[in-house]
Structure 1
Amino acid sequence: MRLSIFLFPFLISCTIITNAQEVYDVANIPADLMQKSTVVVRNEEQNLVIKSQNSAIMSYKTAITILSKNGEGNAVMSEYYDKFSSVYNLKAVMYDAKGIKIRTYKTSDFKDESITSDGTMYDDNRIKKLEFLNATYPYTIEYSYEKSYNGYISFPSWTPIGSYDCALEKSVYTLQIPKTITFKYLKSQDLKTDSAVINDKVTYKWSCQHIKSFEYEPMSTGLKAVTPWVMVSPNDFEYDNSKGNVENWKNLGSWIYQLSNTVQPLPETTKANVQRLIASTRTDREKIAVLYQYLQSNTRYVSVQLGVGGFRPITADKVAAVNYGDCKALSNYMKALLSEAGIQSNLVILGSGIPSLNTKYASFGQANHMILCVPAAKDTTWLECTSQYTPMGYIGNDNSERTVLLVTEAGGKLVNTPVYKPEDNYQNRITTVVLAPDRSADVHIKTSYSNSQYEDQLGMMLMEPTEQRKRIMKSLGIPNMEISSASFMQPDKSIPKIEEDIVLKSSQMVNQGGDKLFVTLNLLNRRESVPAKVENRKTSFSVPYGFKDTDVITYTLPQGYKVEFIPQDISVESEFGRYTAQVTLKDNTIVYTRNQTMNSKKYAPEKYKDLVDFYKKVYMADKQKAVLAKIN
């Protein structure tokens, strides 16, 4: 009898331990979720309770098994907050491969840090953070926290699959909201929405389970089209003593307009400068040009994120006094300069480097940037006010071809930014190569880059000469080369175009076999690889931007040699683009001309094989050689 009493609590203890082990034992993960995965989300619970128009509480809990070192990026807990929110009740535990607890973290283990980055002057955003460290794989981390909101402009979204190579066992997002508060949501295709009404509250629930990981796919436009997600937004909000409605884009634009439509006085000295600068101009476009150059020469970009200050620009007089501001402040300042010159303009909200605004779903979180638009009947001008180098009217590849929000007195208006066609994003290169009998060569390269390709080369123009030469040596790939001179310049500050001029010598330009020399005709702009094949591709794909490259290379034959063989002309054409390569003989030279045009649009996954085939043909064509033989 006494033995039985002694064993009873021991058996209970064993049962508890066994149950704990069963929960996070890696052996219990379904085999198909382990395949090609670096992490597995065992469980995720995100619950949001809306208390009132300006109050909400979110509770979050997750458990993630880290399978290998490649999954270490997921071994971290982080949650942002500001003066209108707080993160508390943080808990975290680590388990070994068997699901046995090996560490419980204390409150003091969590770091509380500012997230002010370089280029940010004012920022009230902070982060609660915990990095899990363990040298033995696999292991499981479990953490949870609560977050309260004292005012909000949007609700947390739900993205249970956040990266490639991540599998998921189970995730659920629950939203509880009073019936008196209206909201809207946008979700992934085929995701089921469950809802229930209990007294004066409505509960919405989205969930998913057993999702295998997705391997990284080259040129992918992202996982959003193939994974579950939900975006949620209130129609009415209160935030930082400001009320607004985002039921549609017109209303959201009205709120932004009210924030920025305060009196924007300019100092008298700045007004005088404006009048002096435009005194000799004859057209509005000339006025815009000189004032934009004035902005670039006298201000610099600094980020400001303080409550509504994340949406309300610093006033123009303050920017004039300190000569810096964030994208909102500088755009607003440029607006004030133009107004002094009698030119009307509008602030523009957009997502720089992210997809266009969803025309049917108005919400914060879809935009991260502000520029300026000067409307005109025939020639609207767009101004990127944070750059000290880009020309007037060029807003960059990340801002082009997007649906954006024009902020007007009548509210927000959806419009589209300019589209840069392949022929706008050109690279034109003329190269001369003088070959010598000892296989050395003198090379002169002159290249023009425009628009998006100008943007790619802008960093080269701004580098110190020593660093420039290092980059040139690495990028050109010409064997045994020595640079004699190199320059990068923008001849006309009003045009997005860079001129590159490089003179170099190679001590071993061509390969030799017996009495023959083998010349790889495409010296500088070769496709060096083909995108990897992907069986049963899941995601759509695209090229970063459409472009047109033209290369003309003239080879002067070395003394004592003649042309024995030149390849035939090649033409490759598909929906992705067009490629041609031609070789002609002229006097004592070989002239190689290569043209490649690529289209930029979103392609369905099943077309990827055709793209690989297209690039394979280009790859092979770029390896063509001419054969030179000694003259007897």
Structure 2
Amino acid sequence: MKYYLSLVLTIVSINTALAQIDYDVAKIPENLKKDAVVVIRNEESFFDVKGLGEAKMDYKVAITILNKAGEEYGEMAEVYDKFSSIYNIRATLYDAAGKKVKDYKSSDIKDQSLISDFSIFEDNRLKLLKFVSITYPYTIEYSYSQDYKGLLSFPSWHDIKGFGVSVEKSAHTIQKAKNYKMRYITSSNLQTDSVINGEKVQYKWKSANVAAVAEEPLSTGIDNISAWVKASPNQFEYDGSTGNFDNWKNFGSWLFTLNQGGNKLPEATKLMVQNLIKDAKTPKEKIRILYNHLQQNTRYVSVQLGIGGFRPILAEKVAQVNYGDCKALSNYMKALLNEAGIASNLIVIGNDMPSLNPNYSSMGQANHMILCVPLAKDTTFLECTSQYKPMGFIGYSNSDRNVLMVTEDGGKIVHTPAYNAKENYQIRRTKITLAEDGTASSEIKSTYGNAQFEENFSMTLMEPVDLRKKIIEDSPIPVAELISYKYAQPDKTLPVLTEEINFKTNPLLTKGGDKLFLVVNQVNRRESVPLKVEGRKTYFAVPFSYNDDDEINYILPKGYNVEFIPKDIVINSEFGSYTAKFSIKDNMIVYSRIQTMNNKKYPPEKYGEYVDFYKKIYQADKQKAVLAKTL
């Protein structure tokens, strides 16, 4: 009787506790409202590993959306596939006072396919519920359970979900059998509480009263300020495949096994390869011929179907249909090279993601595949999804990072090439012929290399009408009439783009009495300074290192000479360097400017120095020359 009475009292106390949850926005501490667009009132995730390929997640969250800027958080959007199911969904909307407005029904929740814009084969689905409130603030609460049949990875946890998000309470728990092997890494100073309960072990992480951080310029992310956990199984089972993720070598072995027998080619394709390379003199020439063939005859599509999200489509199939995802096209290129007698290795890489952690192997650190061709004297990396990138150029979002090379002996961490500032160049030569009324004729010739080639290459693919519009809108010099323009890639084997633009300008000169004033830098001028951020929290970096080399020759208006030109300027810092030179030659102003920037990752306390560096460049770019009438 005592047992049953105790059980009843326990149930009553639990129900009472649930009923007492108060989502009154007025009760949110003021420190959590500062800089916040949403507040995580309470979040609980419990991930129970039931076996090698089986797990269950119970998740519950309550989020207060303070204003329209936080509207993106006003929805439930949970992904599942044929190896998982989401059920037992409950959702409620509350007003600012914490009063219940609506309980949502199953019929309110959309269940839809999650086919990406770039994907034609994908079995991911989405449970979607958009909460609707006509006033702010409001609170949403939802919960669900998710069963997994196949475990390649565990859900990760971040207490802070993004800029402008504060946290009242958030907790994450992983439960497993004592003999089940797994690994995890956490943010620094995050405490891990572990409890043994019979044959089970629970690991728990929690966070509370975390203030929001306003979005910060050039931020490299919030990992250095948020609490986070990433966990991974050692042995796993997924879609009929088993493997071990306890280190990168074993990870690579699993990927190599998945692909065994997948790079056979049809006889017709083999004959084609031999015909293509019959006159090639070197391995490099063979690679170039076959890479060009790949670019001209295949196209990229995404495939995310079970183990097919990790196993490449057979090379034989790609040869027939002429399309594939990054894995399929990389594997097909590998098969073509193999037929040519050239060995190569698949590379697993995080495109636009951090380097792979060499000490922690797991799924989720990579999202892309390329190909590596190690030759006797050098190594060539191939981006097989692009129809335009020259051989060996993999783009700055793939460069300078740890990646996994898949070999028959397992996985091996290698590093992709880094493109330095001098390689990511812009060289621009401009001739501006000034008229006395301040207008001018401008001729601009630019050359872009590597990362700057990549940034500007889309100009070559635009329709003429759209291209003209973009040139006029983006021109640093006000365009009165666009006369001609041309974009070209002179050598298809190099990541180099040329640009030629001729136009007439609106007035560039301002009058003061009988003198004319000219801002000497008209082409590559800094128009603003990065916003200063007091007490910055996050690390920062420019997207890539670069070197801009500009020269402008000004032909003076008839009847004028140069009365004054600024002195040369040199600015140096750990972030980069800047030089500006001013001279007069044959009654012509010659202005040259070189700015070099480093893309190192800098700690938040350096940001003030970075802003000061840009202030100096901003002032240097505003220097004026004075023209006077000749007697």
Q: How does 1:243-392 map to 2 (within 5 A)?
A: 243-392=242-391
**Judging changes above 3 Å, is the alpha-carbon distance between structure 1 residues 521 and 377 closer, same or farther for their aligned structure 2 residues?**
same
- Equivalent residue number for residue 421 of structure 2: 422
Please tell me whether the aligned partners of residues 430 and 444 of structure 2 are also in contact (alpha carbons under 8 angstroms): yes
Q: CA deviation at 1:464?
A: 1.4
Q: Deviations over 1:195-239 (max 9, x none)?
A: 111111111110110000011111111100111000010000000
Q: Deviations over 1:156-208 (max 9, x none)?
A: 01112111111100011111101121000010000000111111111111011
1:143 paired with 2:142, answer yes
Please tell me whether the aligned partners of residues 21 and 99 of structure 1 are also in contact (alpha carbons under 8 angstroms): no
AA partner of residue 108 (structure 1): S
- Equivalent residue number for residue 85 of structure 1: 84
- Equivalent residue number for residue 474 of structure 2: 475
Moved more, 18-27 or 535-544: 18-27
Moved more, 270-279 or 450-459: 270-279
What is the distance in 2 between the residues matched to 1:318 and 1:233?
A: 33
SS of 1:232 mapped into structure 2? strand
Q: CA deviation at 1:507?
A: 3.9
- Equivalent residue number for residue 7 of structure 2: none
Q: How does 1:61-140 map to 2 (within 5 A)?
A: 61-140=60-139
- Equivalent residue number for residue 164 of structure 1: 163
Moved more, 119-128 or 403-412: 119-128
Q: How does 1:466-505 map to 2 (within 5 A)?
A: 466-505=465-504
SS of 2:158 mapped into structure 1? coil
What is the distance in 2 between the residues matched to 1:88 and 1:181?
A: 26
AA partner of residue 51 (structure 1): K
Query: What TM-score, normalized to structure 2?
Result: 0.96
Q: CA deviation at 1:480?
A: 4.3
Please tell me whether the aligned partners of residues 21 and 98 of structure 1 are also in contact (alpha carbons under 8 angstroms): no
Q: CA deviation at 1:438?
A: 2.3
- Equivalent residue number for residue 516 of structure 1: 515
- Equivalent residue number for residue 201 of structure 1: 200
1:402 paired with 2:401, answer yes
**Judging changes above 3 Å, is the alpha-carbon distance between structure 1 residues 332 and 263 closer, same or farther for their aligned structure 2 residues?**
closer
Q: Deviations over 1:365-398 (max 9, x none)?
A: 0000000000123210000000000000000000
1:44 paired with 2:43, answer yes
Moved more, 431-440 or 397-406: 431-440
What is the distance in 2 between the residues matched to 1:521 and 1:18?
A: 73
AA partner of residue 61 (structure 1): K
Q: Deviations over 1:342-382 (max 9, x none)?
A: 00000000100010000100000000000000012321000
What is the distance in 1 between the residues matched to 2:613 and 2:96?
A: 46
Q: How does 1:520-535 map to 2 (within 5 A)?
A: 520-535=519-534
What is the distance in 1 between the residues matched to 2:548 and 2:594?
A: 6
- Equivalent residue number for residue 58 of structure 1: 57
Q: Deviations over 1:469-500 (max 9, x none)?
A: 11111111322421111111101010000000
Moved more, 503-512 or 558-567: 503-512
- Equivalent residue number for residue 627 of structure 2: 628
Please tell me whether the aligned partners of residues 32 and 167 of structure 2 are also in contact (alpha carbons under 8 angstroms): yes
Please tell me whether the aligned partners of residues 480 and 508 of structure 1 are also in contact (alpha carbons under 8 angstroms): no
- Sequence identity percentage: 56
- Equivalent residue number for residue 598 of structure 2: 599
Q: CA deviation at 1:18?
A: 11
In structure 2, the gaps of 5 or more residues are: 1-12
Q: How does 1:431-442 map to 2 (within 5 A)?
A: 431-442=430-441
AA partner of residue 329 (structure 1): A
SS of 2:157 mapped into structure 1? coil
Please tell me whether the aligned partners of residues 577 and 595 of structure 2 are also in contact (alpha carbons under 8 angstroms): yes
What is the distance in 2 between the residues matched to 1:460 and 1:143?
A: 45
Q: Deviations over 1:544-598 (max 9, x none)?
A: 1000000000001110111011000000000000000001100021000000000
What is the distance in 2 between the residues matched to 1:463 and 1:185?
A: 47
In structure 1, the gaps of 5 or more residues are: 1-14
Q: Deviations over 1:322-355 (max 9, x none)?
A: 1100000000000000001000000000100010
- Equivalent residue number for residue 10 of structure 2: none
- Equivalent residue number for residue 571 of structure 2: 572
Q: CA deviation at 1:22?
A: 5.9
- Equivalent residue number for residue 619 of structure 1: 618
AA partner of residue 389 (structure 2): T
AA partner of residue 389 (structure 1): Y
What is the distance in 1 between the residues matched to 2:623 and 2:235?
A: 64
SS of 1:175 mapped into structure 2? strand
What is the distance in 2 between the residues matched to 1:162 and 1:16?
A: 29
What is the distance in 2 between the residues matched to 1:595 and 1:264?
A: 48
Q: CA deviation at 1:17?
A: 13
Please tell me whether the aligned partners of residues 169 and 211 of structure 1 are also in contact (alpha carbons under 8 angstroms): yes
Moved more, 267-276 or 23-32: 267-276
Please tell me whether the aligned partners of residues 170 and 207 of structure 2 are also in contact (alpha carbons under 8 angstroms): yes
What is the distance in 2 between the residues matched to 1:366 and 1:40?
A: 28
What is the distance in 2 between the residues matched to 1:344 and 1:590?
A: 56
Please tell me whether the aligned partners of residues 476 and 524 of structure 2 are also in contact (alpha carbons under 8 angstroms): no
Q: CA deviation at 1:610?
A: 0.6
What is the distance in 2 between the residues matched to 1:84 and 1:262?
A: 26
- Equivalent residue number for residue 186 of structure 1: 185
Q: CA deviation at 1:135?
A: 1.5
Moved more, 266-275 or 79-88: 266-275
1:242 paired with 2:241, answer yes
What is the distance in 1 between the residues matched to 2:614 and 2:508?
A: 26
SS of 2:296 mapped into structure 1? helix
- Equivalent residue number for residue 175 of structure 2: 176
Moved over 6 A (4+): 15-19
What is the distance in 1 between the residues matched to 2:570 and 2:171?
A: 53
Moved more, 395-404 or 372-381: 372-381
Moved more, 478-487 or 56-65: 478-487
Q: CA deviation at 1:261?
A: 1.8
What is the distance in 1 between the residues matched to 2:204 and 2:376?
A: 48
Q: Deviations over 1:114-166 (max 9, x none)?
A: 11122312100111011111111111100000100011101101112111111
Please tell me whether the aligned partners of residues 110 and 129 of structure 1 are also in contact (alpha carbons under 8 angstroms): yes
AA partner of residue 61 (structure 2): T
Q: CA deviation at 1:515?
A: 1.8
What is the distance in 2 between the residues matched to 1:390 and 1:180?
A: 49
Please tell me whether the aligned partners of residues 403 and 417 of structure 1 are also in contact (alpha carbons under 8 angstroms): yes
Moved more, 459-468 or 412-421: 459-468
AA partner of residue 57 (structure 1): K
Q: CA deviation at 1:467?
A: 1.1
AA partner of residue 370 (structure 2): I
Please tell me whether the aligned partners of residues 22 and 28 of structure 1 are also in contact (alpha carbons under 8 angstroms): no
What is the distance in 2 between the residues matched to 1:17 and 1:177?
A: 28
Query: What TM-score, normalized to structure 1?
Result: 0.96
Please tell me whether the aligned partners of residues 170 and 210 of structure 1 are also in contact (alpha carbons under 8 angstroms): yes
SS of 1:399 mapped into structure 2? coil
1:457 paired with 2:456, answer yes
- Equivalent residue number for residue 5 of structure 2: none
SS of 2:337 mapped into structure 1? helix
SS of 1:24 mapped into structure 2? coil
Q: How many residues align?
A: 618
AA partner of residue 194 (structure 2): S
What is the distance in 2 between the residues matched to 1:161 and 1:480?
A: 46
SS of 1:467 mapped into structure 2? helix
